[in-house]
Amino acid sequence: MDTRLDELKRKIEDYAFGAGALVVGVASPQEVAKYAPEGHRPSDFFPKVKSIIVVGAGKMLAGAWKCTDPRWVGVIGGRKLKEVKELSFKVAEFIEDKLGYYAVPYASYSLANGVWDPGISIKLCAELAGLGTRSLAGGIILNPKYGFLYYYLVLTSAPLQPDSPLNKPVCPHPTCVKMWEKVQKTPCLRACPECLSGELENGRIKWMQYNRQLCYPRANWSRIGFQKALFEIINENDPEKRKMMIFGSTFTRYVSAIANSLEISAQCFRCVEVCPVGKNHRVKK
């Protein structure tokens, strides 16, 4: 073990935790490249990369789950996501300013090239950095302590000791296994049977499928929804009806959603809400 690399890693971790990270891990770009296709490898984006730092934070406020408007979780989620983004920028700046290595933050959930074809898979990096494993709930990475978190990457030229993936899958939780044995459902599969399907066997995921296309209208309808609504409006021949459509409440929400990520129309969280992993963080006095 190279103690110099460990020291470098410790400095970055200490800074990241101090800046608000709940979990921090390091993935090796070479390991990521073994699974990722050409054009989606870390070095395709940042040729100087020697390490990938994965920062996770954005634990949902417990109160958000208790609001009468269930979409309020999405409002808080938008803010939380922004916090993690800022955190990744701070970590990158720390690495450049204090340690003297190149660093760049990276998030792959933008509509790069106009389609949902992420440049680098954050899920893959988080898994390889030992921060969690994929779940039945749309393959969301579940951290064993916190459950659902938001993740951002920091790609750096700093050589850091990579972490190892978790030995034991976080999903299914023991209570989900018990539920499966009784009713052949898990909380997430029951919450959203359209987007999610799968089966457990011997306490493990036997197979799972996530219909992301159907998840769009539920979790991601802000941008695509705007395009869909615009298409309907353009096809409407009656100018009066067109006016009602454009000025009406639904289209106003679409417009607001693309202008402001905190709009209530995006996000769903139904599968996350019922997940028992990290549930203790959702319970307060």
Partner 1 sequence: MLKSVLLVRIIGLRNKVIWLRIISTEVYRKYKDMVMYYSNSIQRDVGRGLSVTEIAKKLDLAPGDVLEILAVAEKDIPFEEWERADRFKARK
Q: Is 241 in the site for partner 1 (CB under 8 A)?
A: no
The whole-angstrom separation of Cα 52 and Cα 129 is 8
Contact criterion met (CB below 8 Å) for 169 and 204: yes
The whole-angstrom separation of Cα 83 and Cα 133 is 23
Q: Is 207 in the site for partner 1 (CB under 8 A)?
A: yes
Per-residue contact string for residues 151-190; x = within reach of partner 1 by CB under 8 A? ----------------------------------------
Q: Is 23 in the site for partner 1 (CB under 8 A)?
A: no
Q: Is the peptide bond before 193 cis (omega within 30 degrees of 0)?
A: no
Q: Is 201 helix (H, G, I), strand (E, B) or coil?
A: strand
Which residue's CB is nearer to partner 1, number 71 or number 82? Answer: 71
In the complex, the smallest distance separating the C-beta of residue 223 from partner 1, rounded to whole angstroms, is: 9
In the complex, the smallest distance separating the C-beta of residue 154 from partner 1, rounded to whole angstroms, is: 23
The whole-angstrom separation of Cα 28 and Cα 161 is 8
Q: Is 237 in the site for partner 1 (CB under 8 A)?
A: no
List, in order, residues 6 or more apart from 135 with CB less than 8 Å away: 141, 142, 170, 171, 188, 275, 277
Task: Give the phi and the psi of residue 88 in degrees, each rounded to 5.
Answer: -65, -35
In the complex, the smallest distance separating the C-beta of residue 102 from partner 1, rounded to whole angstroms, is: 26
Find the binder of partner 1 among 229, 257, 271, 275 (CB under 8 A). Answer: 229
**Interface contacts to partner 1, rule CB under 8 A:** 35, 37-40, 68-71, 113-117, 138-139, 198, 205, 207-214, 216-218, 221, 224-225, 227-229, 231-232, 265, 268, 270
